[in-house]
Amino acid sequence: MSNILIIDDEKSIRKTLSEILSYEGYKIDEAGDGEEGLKRFREKTYEVVLCDIKMPKLDGIEFLERAKESNPDVPIIMISGHGNIDTAVEAVKKGAYDYISKPPDLNRLLITIRNAMDKTNLVADVKVLKRKVGKVDEMIGDSSPIKKIKDTIDKVAPTDARILITGENGVGKELVARWVHEKSNRAAGPLIEVNCAAIPSELIESELFGHEKGSFTSALKQRIGKFEQANAGTLFLDEIGDMSLNAQAKVLRALQEGKITRVGGDKDINVDVRVVAATNKDLLKEVDEKTFRLDLYHRLSVILIHVPSLNDRKDDIPLLVDKFLTDVCLDYGIAKKGIDPQAIDGLKEHDWTGNIRELRNVVERLVILSGKNITVEDVSAYVLPKK
Ligand SMILES: Nc1ncnc2c1ncn2[C@@H]1O[C@H](COP(=O)(O)OP(=O)(O)OP(=O)(O)O)[C@@H](O)[C@H]1O
Ligand SMILES: [Mg+2]
């Protein structure tokens, strides 16, 4: 169901619009002035906003400007009274999707909303497509650990050597895996990812190796597993430290013999797969605790790549911030914001337990909440110190 926000200080207008649109199957929220409207707009994603022009506290144009800063993709339709058609036209120039006049004509209202929704869907589609055709994100940083990692990738990617990538949450392990695939001779083949932590242990075997129809109660159809899907490409076993011992034994066999058997099947199937694994756990400790097989550890860790925590390479912060500012502002469809050197220094002082993922989120928050230029005050206000 699509959400619509109606902002108007006249209760009767809100009520009429709300009744009509609810009847059409939309879900409606109301706000009585621009300030309340903005609050709601920031809290929830709406498909369309209807906004009056003359209102107390924050008027329609001001609402429009601020809303566009916080999410430029949501179409905003202005509702204009007799006296302010000119202002409505001005609003459209400033990025409003369209305007309708009071009292609203029912047909025109519904058509305008429908068209606006189509636009929202198109924008969303384009974003998904961009992501799909998008090349692998650049690996930013010129600190010596990052240089070393890039060097290692260049050397080992073209071989079929198995790689174990270690590092804390959000340091960029997956990015390393993507680059290994991209720079390998298998780049034209598939890169198949399995998040071992996300799959219940009783399903992991069928996920990895597939199953034959009827091999267990819920196996209604034959299924091709990830090993087979990754044939001629790379299989990325993410969070390998969370794989059950049972599944580990099966994976070991697949690696040793280059063959798999589907669950419930009796045929051996040859697979040509390069395995790259990642974990944020200390696998040797897991080996000590008997939750990880030593033989599998050796098979997986022909090449070890450790990705350091962001706290250990704070010199990369300026470059990373610059990159994320570019990306985030592009995503939001706004001009790239600047950042003061003192603000960067402020960011360097933060304890980045969430690593690069946290830094990206912080930059996004700063872009949304700050003015054209991000200051050290913004950093102290919006980047909360760790307790
Ligand atoms: N060196 C880098 N340059 C630019 N972006 C990076 C870099 N490293 C990581 N990122 C970005 O940071 C985010 C987190 O990276 P990634 O998902 O690879 O981390 P991870 O180590 O796999 O995390 P987790 O352990 O939580 O799965 C991603 O959006 C990624 O593109
Ligand atoms: Mg990951």
Any ligand 1 atom below 6 A from CB of 272: no
Q: Smallest Cα–Cα separation from 220: which of 211, 229, 228?
A: 211
Give the Å distances, CA to CA, from 49 to 34, 146, 301.
Answer: 12, 45, 53
Q: Whole-angstrom Cα distance, residue 290 to residue 280?
A: 17
Task: Report pLDDT for 231.
Answer: 94
Q: Smallest Cα–Cα separation from 70: which of 49, 53, 91?
A: 49
Q: Kindly report the backbone phi and psi dihedral angles of residue 294, in degrees, each rounded to the nearest multiple of 5, phi listed first.
A: -65, -40
Task: Report pLDDT for 239.
Answer: 95
Any ligand 1 atom below 6 A from CB of 139: yes
Flag whether the pTM goes above 0.85: no
Task: Report pLDDT for 387.
Answer: 47
Share of the chain residues as helix, strand and coil, in percent rounded to the nearest 5: 50, 15, 35
Of the residues 307, 312, 357, 358, which should be mutated to test ligand 1's pocket, given the most ligand atoms within 8 Å of the CB? 357
Q: Smallest Cα–Cα separation from 145: which of 287, 313, 332, 262?
A: 313
Any ligand 1 atom below 6 A from CB of 137: yes
Protein residue closest via CA to atom 16 of ligand 1: 172
| Whether the bond into 200 is cis, omega within 30 of 0 | no
Any ligand 1 atom below 6 A from CB of 47: no
In the chain, which residues have pLDDT < 50? 387
Q: Kindly report the backbone phi and psi dihedral angles of residue 78, in degrees, each rounded to the nearest multiple of 5, phi listed first.
A: -85, 145
Any ligand 1 atom below 6 A from CB of 171: yes
Protein residue closest via CA to atom 13 of ligand 1: 357
Residues 6 or more apart whose CB falls under 8 angstroms from that of 17 comprise 6, 8, 28, 50, 104, 109
Residues 6 or more apart whose CB falls under 8 angstroms from that of 155 comprise none
Q: Taking each helix axis as running N to C, give the angle between helix 34-43 and helix 60-70, from 0 to 180 degrees, rounded to the nearest 10.
A: 20
Q: Whole-angstrom Cα distance, residue 177 to residue 163?
A: 9
β pairing state of 163-166 and 274-279: parallel
Task: Report pLDDT for 241.
Answer: 95
- SS3 for 314? helix
Q: Smallest Cα–Cα separation from 310: which of 302, 299, 319?
A: 319
Beta bridge partners of 263: 211
Buried b (16+ CB within 10 A) or exposed e, 146-185: beebbebbeebbeeeebbbbbbbebbbbbbbbbbbbebbe
Q: Whole-angstrom Cα distance, residue 67 to residue 117?
A: 17
Task: Report pLDDT for 213.
Answer: 84
